[in-house]
Structure 1
Amino acid sequence: MLCSILLIAIYPTLIACSKSAETSDETTPIEEEGKTIKADAVVAADGTGDFTSLQDAINAAPNNRTEYYYIYIKKGTYKEVITIPQTKDYIYLIGEETAMTVLTYDNYASRRKPDGSEYGTSGSASFFVQGNHFVAEKITFENTAGIDAGQALAINISGARSSFRNCRFLGHQDTWYAGNGTYQYVKDSFIEGSVDFIFGGSTAFFDHCQLESTRNGYITAASTPEDQTYGYVFHHCTLTARPEITSSSVYLGRPWRPNAKVIFIECAMDKHIQQAGWHNWGKPDNEKTAFYAEYKSTGAGASIDNRVSWSHQLTMEEAKRFTYENVIGDQHPKFVMEKIQIN
């Protein structure tokens, strides 16, 4: 039996084995140090796991679960459109190595389906999360349609609650999307794109992430519902750009809908960030309803004195409203343990 062992912290392990017919289907969630858990399924492109297709592994998971179903994905490139269906709650994906475990496809909004219709923006994603309580670690979600393809999502999240750690989201226009009323916690991850590459109406907390611009454009296009307390909060994130991107050419955001809410808390911003910071999408009325704010931005792009007058520079007391605990703390699924390492 071939096994891949994930060392979690110091003692707990997640053992991902190619299973025989006699292997138990029961899961053993890790709750404290010293416990171990076997992956319920192993996906391996080279045929050494239970499945060569991640979608096949997801389809094999029982419906309507109330405990996690762990799928371990070995290094490889998996080109397939993948969906976590609404009937598959509590799916937990763990990749062997972030940059080498790649889930990819190349659809885009104007591409024609076999029936002649277009995929459209929301339908162009490489990965769809429809199930609730979804977690992913050490995985790359990618759309390779290219910088001139227009809208081409790497991920489309409609499931109510999800969490991502040590992941990469690669694309250009509209890379990362999550729908109204959903919650996401994104930690220690990398998101790249060109235009509106983080967009939608969710409550999302991005913690110590890197946001990489692939050309001049806009980082966020939030569509926060009017009655929703929070939109996007970026906490201790780093905003970078490809070397060819010129200074003051990328906006922090523009409001896809009038009540967009986006906050940057103690983020480092390179010189590609527009001195004005924010754009009204050509609609002056958006300036009255959108809430765009920063607290202690640093770097060449943190041109506080030149920001548009309708944005906000928060005080310390005001910034306390946007802590992890207030925004997302009990609203997202938790990770198995800290400091997952592979041996």
Structure 2
Amino acid sequence: MGSYSIHLTVLFAFLTSLGVQIHALSPEYTACQLQKSVVASPLTGCPKGTIFVSPTDDRASFKKVQDAIKSLPETGDAIILIGEGEYNEMVNVARAAPLTLLGQLDPYTAYDSAGNASQRNLVHIWNNLYVHDGLTDEETATLTVAPASGEHFGNTNFRAYNIDFENRAANYAISQALVTSLNHVNASFYGCTFASYQDTWYTGSGAYTYAVDSIIYGSTDYLFGYGTAVHAAPGMGLYIADSKIIRSPDASATTVTNAQCYLGRPWNDLAIAVYLRTYMDESIPPQILALFHAPLTTPSLIQYGPGGGTSKRVAQDHIMTSEEVDKYFTLEEVFFETPAWIDFKYKY
């Protein structure tokens, strides 16, 4: 597998209609996710067998998400409803059977037209570990979805809805501090946020990942790995469609005003990154890429905005035609099938 790395101090906002606010929720799970009155069960509207987790609600079966996951049998679909609150813990999913994590939502703000779904999230799962004192990169992850030791493949259908995953070591900008570590799994995310500084999102070997209506914050190498990652919309690579790449609103506190950052630095000649219909602001320089090694297969790009000019691109860059996009870069082409593990009912 090749690898890729994004090297920016920007905010990835996966917005499907530029200039249009998003009102995205899951029609299958919304009734379960909405907070209930104090007289109603928090599991009203939830699929049978859903487990409720809350740090403050006495009706919950568990106070920690990881404790709920550890209670699950090895087989059968499982759903966990996570109540509003702060969860200072590391979540590790090793079971192979499907698992869905649902973040609870306020019924008065869930449909608010201001901002995208992730800005309405009530559930924050976080840790503050970073690479030091013998900890490896992957051991710092807030969320790990990977097979148990010795198994060939892990979770066949992991989903998370409306949850903020954070590594708050990013507040110190010390070193690598992962939010997700995804290996040999099928994992998809809806209306979620992932926040760190360096090495935010890792798609490892054999992993296939999909994120829509979500935001990823980071700085150095914060999208990287050896698997296949589709954001918005086997092989290897990073595919970003119908999105925005913009400087984070708080970036000026740690970066030089008007500074520019390269879009990526491919780590070897198999690295592939594709950007389709993606807006790039002025923080992206005309050269787009910082070459890490040569020769390289560098990103194919279709984008626009102040950072989307094509006059000074590196020689390895390729601007795709609409015919190439239609032939090679549909969701079905990227995954070699229409993935059954993606929730296509999630509309935006």
Q: What's the TM-score bracket when you normalise by the shorter of the two chains?
A: 0.7 to 0.9
Give the aligned residue type for 2:81: Y
Distance across 2 between alignment mates of 1:78 and 1:135: 18
Distance across 1 between alignment mates of 2:244 and 2:54: 33
Distance across 1 between alignment mates of 2:167 and 2:266: 24
Q: Is the aligned partner of 1:46 residue 2:56?
A: yes
Match of 2:296 in 1: 289
Match of 2:139 in 1: 123
Q: SS of the residue aligned with 1:289?
A: coil
Distance 1:313 1:82, change over 3 A: same
Distance across 2 between alignment mates of 1:265 and 1:15: 32
TM-score computed with the length of structure 2 as normaliser: 0.75
Give the aligned residue type for 1:231: G
* Residue from 201, 226, 243 that aligns with 1:176: 201
Q: Is the aligned partner of 1:241 residue 2:247?
A: yes
| Identity between Structure 1 and Structure 2 (%) | 28
Higher relative contact order (CA 8 A, sep 6+): 2
Distance across 2 between alignment mates of 1:41 and 1:259: 43
**Contact 1:16/1:38 (<8 A) preserved:** no
Give the aligned residue type for 1:144: R
Return 9-18 or 233-242, whichever deviates more: 9-18
Distance across 2 between alignment mates of 1:178 and 1:277: 22
Q: SS of the residue aligned with 1:185?
A: strand
Q: Is the aligned partner of 1:148 residue 2:166?
A: no
Q: Deviations over 1:4-53 (max 9, x none)?
A: xxx953998437999xxxxxxxxxxxxxxxx9623521111103311100
Structure 2: gaps spanning 5 or more residues: 1-24, 37-44, 106-117, 147-153
Match of 1:135 in 2: 159
* Residue from 336, 340, 343 that aligns with 1:335: 343
Match of 1:322 in 2: 329
Distance across 2 between alignment mates of 1:277 and 1:101: 35
Match of 2:291 in 1: 280
Distance 1:175 1:334, change over 3 A: same
* Residue from 23, 32, 36 that aligns with 1:14: 32
* Residue from 71, 74, 81 that aligns with 1:60: 71
* Residue from 266, 270, 279 that aligns with 2:281: 270
Distance across 2 between alignment mates of 1:191 and 1:331: 23
RMSD between aligned residues: 2.7
Distance across 1 between alignment mates of 2:91 and 2:49: 19
Distance 1:8 1:256, change over 3 A: closer
Distance 1:200 1:38, change over 3 A: same
Distance across 1 between alignment mates of 2:97 and 2:281: 39
**Contact 2:210/2:342 (<8 A) preserved:** no
Match of 1:32 in 2: none
Match of 1:224 in 2: none
Q: Is the aligned partner of 1:195 residue 2:213?
A: no
Please show how residues 195-234 of structure 1 align to structure 2 within 5 Å.
Answer: 195-207=220-232, 229-234=235-240
The structure with more strand, counted as a fraction of residues: 1
Quote the offset at 1:121 in angstroms. 1.1
Q: SS of the residue aligned with 1:252?
A: coil
**Contact 1:152/1:171 (<8 A) preserved:** yes
Q: SS of the residue aligned with 2:262?
A: strand
Distance 1:239 1:336, change over 3 A: closer
Quote the offset at 1:109 in angstroms. 1.0
Give the aligned residue type for 1:145: A
Q: SS of the residue aligned with 2:324?
A: helix
Structure 1: gaps spanning 5 or more residues: 1-6, 19-34, 113-117, 209-227
Please show how residues 151-162 of structure 1 align to structure 2 within 5 Å.
Answer: 151-162=176-187
Distance 1:317 1:43, change over 3 A: same
Distance 1:73 1:265, change over 3 A: same
Distance across 1 between alignment mates of 2:224 and 2:141: 13
Q: SS of the residue aligned with 1:38?
A: coil
Match of 1:4 in 2: none
TM-score computed with the length of structure 1 as normaliser: 0.76
**Contact 1:178/1:200 (<8 A) preserved:** yes
Distance across 2 between alignment mates of 1:17 and 1:336: 24
Match of 1:106 in 2: 128
Q: Is the aligned partner of 1:90 residue 2:101?
A: no
Distance across 1 between alignment mates of 2:248 and 2:33: 38
**Contact 1:17/1:39 (<8 A) preserved:** no
Distance across 1 between alignment mates of 2:246 and 2:136: 29
Quote the offset at 1:291 in angstroms. 3.0
Give the aligned residue type for 1:126: T
